Amino acid sequence: MGCTRLVYNKALALRTEAWYKRQERVGYEETSAMLTQWKKQEALQFINEVSCVPVQQGLRHLQKAFSNFFEGRTKYPKFKKKHQGGSAEFTKSAFKFKNGQVYLAKCAEPLAIRWGRELPQRSKPSTISVKLSPSGRWTVSLLVDVEIEKLPESPNQIGLDLGISSLVALSNGEKIVNPKNFKAKRSKLKKAQKSLSRKQKGSKNHHKARLKVAKVHAEISDARKDFLHKLTTRLVRENQTIAVEDPAVKNMVKNRKLSLAISDASWGELLRQLEYKCGWYGRTLIKIDRWFPSSKRCGSCGHVVEKLPLNIREWDCPKCGTHHDRDINAARNILAAGLAVAVCGATVRPERSKSVQAGARKQKL
């Protein structure tokens, strides 16, 4: 991990200097050639003690980071720091997978893995990544090709609204709320952060407190991911068509009030999971990317009320008298708009998830 980080940082420094001092672009090939030079230097002999594959992969990742930057997708690549953990990627030539054991190149012992799930039968990993999280936890992921069978067709369809009082409101009347322990975890995080702020920088206690903060962060993100995975798997299993509003549109309308119920990251992650799971299992995801009055429109008669302040959770339609729960009504409207779009492609542009054949797909385990 240390060697990968060192070489990555050296190459980043080299590329940065070349650009800012001499306006020269240094690419992957050049950094790879430099690596050969570095390996010959006496002070850097230790690089030869580890497998060259993850080190080389690190340079490829740097190349990727630069192309992402040049194409405007990300910020300028940053130096990697020890306390952030790190990762090392082993391609086929640098590991052996034998009798359910993983042997990495230049490591005598097999990795002591506690498996999260079994590898699919007869699958062979093509890449193995070893990661160290800032909280000090090691994880190993194995990339394998698997056949994913589509689910049998379902007669159900559903609309999702990013709720204010709940995480998600469904058009079938159900409201999904964050698990209760999220709140407790958040106050645990606050406590840990407060304790960290009181410690002197560079001290042993500061280090310990920082580790504690990282651990709570990891706990929260694990719990959130687990919860979202269960939710999206269920939604995809139960429904053939899922309609959602694009979050960018949503944020403009409901803005900061939303952060009470859900962070943007969760909503983004929820959509990401829905998208790929719909692709895997032969479901249709319709994303509505234009604004329309999902909350203010009566789902029964189509009447649009002029104003509906955020604090109003329930309302009666002045035209047809139907009683509405704000978020459920919005979810119903989203479903209706999504279905209309799916049929005629009219006023709101849909973005269907790519319909994917049940062929070989890459899946991270």
Residues annotated as catalytic are 161, 245, 327
Q: Which of 317, 331, 334, 337 binds Zn ion (CB under 5 A)?
A: 317
What token pair was written down for 301? 């008669």
Please report whether residue 303 would count as binding Zn ion according to CB under 5 A. Answer: yes
Distance in Å, CB of 257 to Zn ion, minimum = 25
What string marks each residue from 318 to 347 as x (binds Zn ion by CB under 5 A) or -?
Answer: -xx-x-------------------------
Distance in Å, CB of 336 to Zn ion, minimum = 13
Distance CA 56, CA 59 (A): 5
Beta-bridge partner residues of 90? 128
Q: Which of 113, 301, 312, 360 binds Zn ion (CB under 5 A)?
A: 301
Residue nearer to Zn ion on the CB measure, 32 or 300: 300
Residue nearer to Zn ion on the CB measure, 189 or 305: 305
At 36, give phi and psi (nearest 5°).
-60, -40
Radius of gyration of the chain (CA): 25
Which range of residues in 46-54, 192-200, 248-256, 316-324 is near Zn ion by CB under 5 A? Answer: 316-324
Distance in Å, CB of 305 to Zn ion, minimum = 9
Contacts to Zn ion from residues 126-185, by CB under 5 A: none
Q: Are 350 and 341 in contact (CB under 8 A)?
A: yes
Element counts in the chain: helices (H) and strands (E)? 8, 13
What token pair was written down for 109? 């012992």
3-state SS assignment for residue 129: strand
Distance in Å, CB of 162 to Zn ion, minimum = 23
Distance in Å, CB of 259 to Zn ion, minimum = 31
Q: Are 123 and 201 in contact (CB under 8 A)?
A: no
Q: Which of 300, 336, 342, 356 binds Zn ion (CB under 5 A)?
A: 300
Residue nearer to Zn ion on the CB measure, 287 or 332: 332
Residue nearer to Zn ion on the CB measure, 31 or 329: 329
Strands (E), 38-85: none
Q: Are 350 and 342 in contact (CB under 8 A)?
A: yes
Q: Which of 142, 298, 330, 337 binds Zn ion (CB under 5 A)?
A: 298
Contacts to Zn ion from residues 31-50, by CB under 5 A: none
Residue nearer to Zn ion on the CB measure, 16 or 322: 322
| Cβ atoms < 10 Å from Cβ of 212 | 18
Question: Which residue has tokens 């309308």?
Answer: 253
3-state SS assignment for residue 37: helix
Distance in Å, CB of 179 to Zn ion, minimum = 35
Beta-bridge partner residues of 285? 242
Query: What amino acid occupies position 285?
Result: L
Q: Are 314 and 326 in contact (CB under 8 A)?
A: yes
What string marks each residue from 256 to 295 as x (binds Zn ion by CB under 5 A) or -?
Answer: ----------------------------------------
Binding site for Zn ion (CB under 5 A): 298, 300-301, 303, 317, 319-320, 322
